[in-house]
Amino acid sequence: MAHTAHTVKRYTGIMDWLTTVDHKKIGILYLLAGGLFFGIGGIEAILIRIQLIKPLNDLVSEQAFNELITMHGTTMIFLGVMPIIFALMNAIVPLQIGARDVAFPFLNSLGFWTFLFGGLLLNLSWIVGDVPDAGWTSYVPLADTTYSPHHGVDFYTIGLQISGLGTLLGGINFLVTIINMRAPGMTYMRMPMFTWAAFITSALILFAFPAITVGLILLMFDRLFSGNFFNVALGGNPVLWQHIFWIFGHPEVYILILPAFGIISDVLSTFARKRLFGYSSMVFATILIGFLGFMVWAHHMFTVGLGPVANALFSIATMLIAVPTGIKIFNWIFTLWGGSIKFTAANLYAIGFIPTFVMGGVTGVMLASAPANFQFHDTYFVVAHFHYVIVGGLVLGLFSGLHFWWPKMFGRTLYEGLGKATFWMFFIGFQLTFFVQHFLGLIGMPRRVATYLPNQGFDTMNMISTVGAIMMGIGTLMFLWNIFITSRQPKNAANDPWEDGRTLEWTIPSPPPEYNFKQTPLVRGYDAWWKEKMDGNKEMTPAEPLGSIHMPSPTILPFFMSVGLFIAGFGFMYGRDPFDNAILGFLFNNYIVSIIGLGITFGCMFLRSVYDDPGYHIEVEELEDKGGRA
């Protein structure tokens, strides 16, 4: 390819955001969209808790309660926390390995837009009025057309299908990026822990998401085309759904938690100002957790009746996961031990993570014991357990990561004082909400039930739990307020705003220029930037001479491909509904809407294949004008 100067249209304003293929901007888009859905899921959570504040409350109907719990779980997991994980992975991983971009900028953009349109389709159910109400696990026969006759579950199957496609593309993208795009000297065993976590999480996404894709297709075929996968009358098997769902569903919880492990490993070693204790064992433990995560799905099905042998095997496999997790916990403690610790907001979240996550882990081992599981099953004990690992683990980790990398993403540091106050509000609120739920479960309060009778010992603890949930809501609002007031400050964050940065992202301006590194850095050891600092160097040694940098062109195709899938999904959903309007009936009942939607998507794929993207070059003069250190 010759270095001919290509003129590429550069967009500004809203078109810039719709067409961007820059991983840092896509990270910000993921954060915005994920934050929006996190807010929706949070409002649903608070409505659930207000309904349960007192016995025999009638704030919402039983039907609305089912819709709230279903959408709370689905939204938070698929549309809230996963995109925020992707936001941090996009914003930080290429910087941590010294890369100029991800391996597939086009797919990166496509992944974001399919996630967003899938999420919008799912939440459109609130406006249409047919909301998914079969639980986030959508078990059959509850989720089949006999017991869920309206379109709620169709929004679930098709919305998740589209957004899951985006996640899968993102996973492949990060695997290839980390394998192929590392800077010279950045060997696998020198990669920062967050990059390692992103790597293993991406591998889990690659092998777990196709399973749920198939599960959702089977459920969709049963519901929309009268298939018989789960129709017992014609030989179908409802337990099949549970297996497929959890073969995906259990790796999914490690997809969620591993990035949090990575974040807090980086945050703790930065603010303890020490090398991460036991780095190699951390890497090994991460890989082991990822591997074992695929071996334990049936522990969600102990009460189904798989038999004592299966239950015993899955019980032991589950308990095994406590070993690599324990390794990590001790390594974090030893990283802090003897360190010169700075209690920044990011570090408070990371330190708060450790005991909270341990509690979630301990109840996890309790639940892993099959005989005891029969007692805990379907009670608030389970709710307490998974919120301790997902909120007390992952969400605290995400808040930690957001405080830590905010200056790198936006060029402005969040207010520390307000950040610490937010931590205490959120953390205390969290413990109040979920600690008592262990005991509610042990004394027999069932989950997924819209209300309860008075004087069973449930009243006070439910009241405490609701107060805690409102405190978490206030904490989230404080975080948003912090973002708002920070955004009015000048963009003046230094390259290394915490002054103790250890990894490559802290060697370039905040926020980084579109090409990240003016010259690809040479990595000379683990904690590459810290090593240079300790050797008295003010900057990284470049691994290449200054030269023109090739960049991919912006493109609108991923946006339209996702719009096409959205339209097609909508068409399939209403393909067999009666319509009063003859034209609408013609369009939907003959699947013309779906064909148009898929036509848009495949048409865009065709254009992408036929028209090669020459990209454009940023020339040396332009690099020198910008002056920033690389």
Partner 1 sequence: MSAHGHHVEGEWPHQPENATLEGRNKVLGFWLFLGGEAVLFGTLFATFLALRDQVGDGPTAAELFKLPIVGAATLILLVSSLTSVFAVQALHQNKVKDLIKWLIVTVLLGFSFLGLEIYEFVEYIHHGHNFTTSAFSTAFYTLVGFHGAHVAFGVLWITLLIIQVKKKGLNLVTAPKVYVSAIYWHFIDVVWVFIFTVVYLMGRVV
Residues that bind partner 1 (CB under 8 A): 1, 103-104, 107, 168, 172-173, 175-176, 179-181, 206-211, 213-215, 217-218, 221-222, 225-229, 231, 234-237, 240, 243-244, 247, 544, 547-550, 606, 609-610, 612
Residue the block writes with tokens 């799905």: 297
- The DSSP H or E segment spanning 538 is none
**Residue 78 DSSP class:** I
Please name which of 75, 27, 85 lies closest in space to residue 394, comparing C-alpha atoms.
Answer: 85
CB of 39 closer than 8 Å to CB of 477: no
Q: Angle at Cα 347 formed by Cα 345 and Cα 353, nearest 5°?
A: 110
Min. distance of Cβ 211 from partner 1 in angstroms? 5
Tokens 């907001």 sit on residue: 345
Q: With contact defined as beta carbons under 8 Å apart, do 346 and 397 qualify?
A: no
Cβ burial of 172 (10 Å; 0-12, 13-18, 19+) is: middle
CA distance 223 to 157: 10
Find all residues with CB under 8 Å of 220, minimum gap 6, and list them.
154, 157, 158, 161, 572
- CB closer to partner 1, 11 vs 221: 221
The CA–CA distances, whole Å, from 447 to 65, 106, 382, 383, 538 equal: 12, 43, 8, 7, 57
**CB of 578: closest distance to partner 1 in angstroms?**
20
**Which CB atom, from 139 or from 221, has the smaller least distance to partner 1?**
221
Contact assessment for residue 211 and residue 244, using Cβ atoms and an 8 Å cutoff: yes
* Nearer to partner 1 among residue 225 and residue 330 (C-beta): 225
DSSP code of residue 499: S
CA gap 124, 335 in Å, rounded: 46
Q: Is the Cβ–Cβ distance between 445 and 438 less than 8 Å?
A: no
Using the minimum distance from each CB to partner 1, give the nearer residue, 218 or 450: 218
Minimal distance in Å, beta carbon 155 to partner 1? Answer: 22
Task: Retrieve residue 467's tokens.
Answer: 């107060």
Nearer to partner 1, 175 or 432 (CB): 175
> How far apart are alpha carbons 483 and 35 in whole angstroms?
12
Q: Least distance from C-beta 317 to partner 1, angstroms?
A: 19
Nearer to partner 1, 191 or 384 (CB): 191
Which residue carries 């450790």 as its tokens?
A: 354
- For partner 1, the closer of residues 231 and 325 by Cβ is 231
Smallest gap from Cβ 630 to partner 1, in A, equals 14
CA–centroid distance for 228 within its chain? 33
Closest distance of CB 439 from partner 1, Å: 39
Torsion 375-380-385-390 (CA) sign: positive
- Closer CB to partner 1, residue 231 or residue 510? 231
Smallest distance from the beta carbon of 548 to partner 1, in angstroms? 8
Report the C-alpha dihedral over residues 229, 232, 235, 237, rounded to 10 degrees: 50
Q: Which is nearer to partner 1, 58 or 612 (CB)?
A: 612
Q: What minimum distance in Å lies between the beta carbon of 4 and partner 1?
A: 14
Cβ-proximal residues to 13 (8 Å cutoff; 6+ apart), any chain: none
Residue closer to partner 1, measured from CB, 449 or 522: 522
**Least distance between partner 1 and beta carbon 229 (Å):** 6
296 vs 298: CA distance, rounded Å: 6
Residue 94 or 407 having the CB closest to partner 1: 94
State how far the Cα of 404 lies from the Cα of 390, in Å rounded to an integer: 20
Indicate the residue among 57 and 237 with the shorter CB distance to partner 1: 237
Min separation Cβ 172 and partner 1, Å: 5
Distance of closest approach, residue 41 Cβ to partner 1, in angstroms: 27
Question: Do you know the residue count of the chain?
Answer: 630
CB of 110 to partner 1, least distance (A): 13
